[in-house]
Structure 1
């Protein structure tokens, strides 16, 4: 196998070249936005018929309008089709994911006394509805379903639906349907890509309009969420997979190469770097790739080699630890894996990452499937300001305040000063002696 892994030495790169390493496939969505506009318009105007047409055009699936929603019979058939080992793994993962997210859920209400007789707090409520998007173009992903839907169910969202592209035969992945059945989701619709985003943003004859959409997808789907952000909450930025594996000199480079392939195999639009301060680790990782590829399918080799031999992946050699983490924090990866005999020593240097997996026994594989922490993570550098998907993405809070008769005078006095200064007469009058005339 003759494939050259991209190798970058940070010290030898210009500032512009270093910046180019930070790019992702969806960094510039202008072309995709142009392409999704007519798809969105068609769904808005034609509803279900547009979804059927798009399924044939983009998914190669021949379905009718009455087949858009998955039937009870399809749920039963999927669970019968799925092997017991996979079903057991789904249940194991679901249990861990549920436990983790239950720990995130706030109480119904908080209240604190900020001054004597004056109380402020929050009341937490679930959002009304959400559409959980499960991609299928590059495989089948029941784990994505679990990560998206379980925190919504823990938050007690009133209506949780799933949208996912149909296969060429018009079916939905059996494992995804089985996972839905396991966690109690009964509404699954066969549509994907930009057309699915439009469907839940506007609603069609069959699909309900939803308040929010969550889940990773292609640049077309990401572009559609941007275009429709005024119609539906697009959730956290969740585009193609990306990762950085940091390995220090104490790690076998072959292990670093093994873990580098985890996110790189998702698709040719993924991004994946090994960052190290050790030339020995870098060289060992590069030399180990043919051996690791030999144990992978042709499709996954094609995907991962496209990433690791291209402009958005490979091995990055840093002069020292400070330079390594300066690059990592600038990149703000979706997944960050720290390979070291003492991984905790580096945690304090990490500012921007969707998730941090510490040590030789915490590969991204575990986080993606079974650990319980959410694998729907911010991409394209959004980890600098955005958190992983969690229960609070499916909840909102309203401020609650209560002032007693004894607490009122001091609050009123200070509020009136500020209202008067800012020129709001109505505000000032509402906390003046005039109020006392009407209080019973």
Structure 2
């Protein structure tokens, strides 16, 4: 079967057609809502029994309710059987990830003198507990375990767990178990999809209820997060993969083609575009992509061709640099590669992206695994307002203030005026002569 790559010329698209290119798989989760609600209700009622049943039904894994938690034997097996080169690469990545997030961690407290004798600032504390969701449906992702759990440990989260779907053999992926130990996580549990989100939101006999859940997932996971967001912090929206490769006329189109395959191979629900105003680059990339598909497995090339030949993928040819940049900013991608000999010239105009990878030697692969910045990024356009997962996701700010007797009168006078205007008698009284009389005694 001939597989083609979509080719869109922005100047020839209607406004409706252009808007269609900006859509994501998660734009409409209505088809998942009722099914997800039933899953969540079952987990709330039945706990581990429901998790085991869903593992058998959805993951095709033979799991019993008594086997939800990873055992010491599981960890030992993983350490013994995982290839040494994989462990070495994971250790390399862990060092980079830990360093980046340690450098990112803010100071514990700061105070600024707002007025002479009046001080205000913030104090940072770790959140009490969290769960890291590590997907598995289209592969095993120990890198997600490292990217989510290491920032949490750096932040100081005391109660940290990992939830991840079991494989067909009923076991947790060996590399994920090793990653958990590298990060210092003790509790790893066999639970995936909507049922995992329900478990960490409400708790089961084995899985503890936690304050927050972080990690990318399928539309099932996204729909479940929406439905439990009133009882648990569901963090940065992270759904199916997205990538825009933004390329100018200085690069070889074959390089753009090579990088388009990175995120398009994640699954058929990914969204990936090459955006350029160079017809040469566009045509070179279009010709090269099928050649690269031949160097991939049938599953991964199938995912990639579905994406790049589907309604939310392919090559976008703009009239000029301005039109290309406008499209990228409207899209607000999860990953944004800037392929150019001088990539920094565009950086100031690219406003919305989960991450921006600059230059010919910074493919998304490096960001996904070993550079250090987090690869759990906002999707579905949330990069307009949301940020990558970081230590800040596992910390909270508390405002701190201290006013001396010398600074108090001026502040009190102005506060009383505003309190009186807004009709708050108690507020006004608290900074009136009533307080002064008490303090004099």
TM-score where L is the length of structure 1: 0.99
SS in 2 for 1:205: coil
Aligned to 1:356: 356
Cα offsets for 1:235-287 (capped at 9, x unmatched): 10000000000111111101100001100000000000000101111111010
Structure 1 vs Structure 2 CA RMSD: 0.7
Matched with 1:33 is 33
Shift of 1:195: 0.3
Question: What pairs up with 1:76-87 in 2 under 5 angstroms?
Answer: 76-87=76-87
Question: Does residue 305 of the first structure (1) align with residue 279 of the second (2)?
Answer: no
**More deviation in 29-38 or 204-213?**
29-38
Aligned to 1:391: 391
- Separation in structure 1 between the aligned mates of residue 373 and residue 222 of structure 2, nearest angstrom: 23
Counterparts of 1:336 and 1:415, CA distance in 2: 47
Residue 220 of structure 1: how far off its partner (Å):
0.4
How big is the shift at 1:374? 0.4
Unpaired runs of at least 5, structure 1? none
Match of 2:50 in 1: 50
| 1:288-328 deviation line (CA, Å, top 9, x unaligned) | 01211111111100000000000010000000000001000
After TM superposition, the structure 1 = structure 2 runs for residues 247-326 of structure 1, keeping only pairs within 5 Å, are 247-326=247-326
Q: Is 2:367 the partner of 1:328?
A: no
Cα-to-partner distance string for 1:374-419 (whole Å, 9 max, x where unaligned)? 0000000000000100000000011111110101010111111111
2:105 maps to 105
* 1:128 equivalent in structure 2: 128
Q: Helix, strand or coil for the counterpart of 2:274?
A: strand
1:433 paired residue number: 433
Q: CA deviation at 1:209?
A: 0.2
**C-alpha distance in 2 between matches for 1:349 and 1:410:** 44
TM-score, normalization by structure 2: 0.99
- Deviation at 1:424? 1.1
Aligned equivalents of 1:242, 1:290: Cα separation in 2: 20
Report the equivalent of 1:67.
Answer: 67
* SS of corresponding position for 1:124: strand
Distance 1:271 1:186 in 2: 35
For the residues of structure 2 that align with 1:389 and 1:438, how far apart are their CA atoms?
48
Instruction: Give the drift of 1:186.
Output: 1.0
* C-alpha displacement of 1:65: 1.6
What corresponds to 2:159 in structure 1?
Answer: 159
Alpha-carbon displacement from aligned partner over 1:67-109 (angstroms, at most 9, x marks no partner): 1000011001001111111100000000000000001111111
Looking at structure 1, the residues matched to 290 and 77 of structure 2 have their Cα atoms a distance apart, in angstroms, of 40
Question: 1:207-226, aligned counterparts within 5 Å?
Answer: 207-226=207-226
Give the corresponding residue for 2:94: 94
Distance in structure 2 (CA, Å) of the matches to 1:27 and 1:425: 47
1:161-212 Cα distance to aligned partner (Å, 9 max, x none)? 0000001111111111111111211100000000000001000011000100
Q: Aligned partners of 1:232 and 1:424: how far apart in 2? A: 33
**1:337, CA displacement in angstroms?**
0.1
**Other-structure match for 2:147:** 147
User: For residues 294 and 31 of structure 2, what CA distance do their matches in structure 1 show?
Assistant: 36
**Counterpart Cα distance in 2 of 1:172 and 1:333:** 31
Which blocks of at least 5 consecutive residues in structure 2 are unaligned?
none
CA shift digits 1:5-43 (9 cap, x unpaired): 000000000000000000011111111112201000100
1:424 alignment counterpart: 424
In structure 2, the residue corresponding to 1:26 is in which secondary structure? helix
SS at match of 1:410: helix
Equivalent-residue separation in structure 2 for 1:315 and 1:346 (angstroms):
20
In structure 2, what is the equivalent of residue 232 of structure 1? 232
Deviation per residue, 1:102-159 (Å, 9 max, x gap): 0111111111110011111111100011000000000000001111111000000011
What pairs up with 1:174-185 in 2 under 5 angstroms?
A: 174-185=174-185
Give the Cα separation in 1 of the matches to 2:300 and 2:250. Answer: 29
The SS at the match of 1:112 is strand
Give the corresponding residue for 2:202. 202
Secondary structure of 1:153's counterpart equals helix
In 1, Cα distance between equivalents of 2:337 and 2:108: 35
The alpha carbon displacement at 1:422 in A equals 1.1
What's the counterpart of residue 381 of structure 1? 381
Q: Secondary structure at the match of 1:151?
A: helix
What's the counterpart of residue 193 of structure 2?
193
Quick one: distance in 2 between partners of 1:222 and 1:23? Answer: 16
In structure 2, what is the Cα distance between the partners aligned to 1:13 and 1:74?
A: 54
**Number of residues of Structure 1 aligned to a counterpart in Structure 2:** 440
Shift of 1:423: 1.3
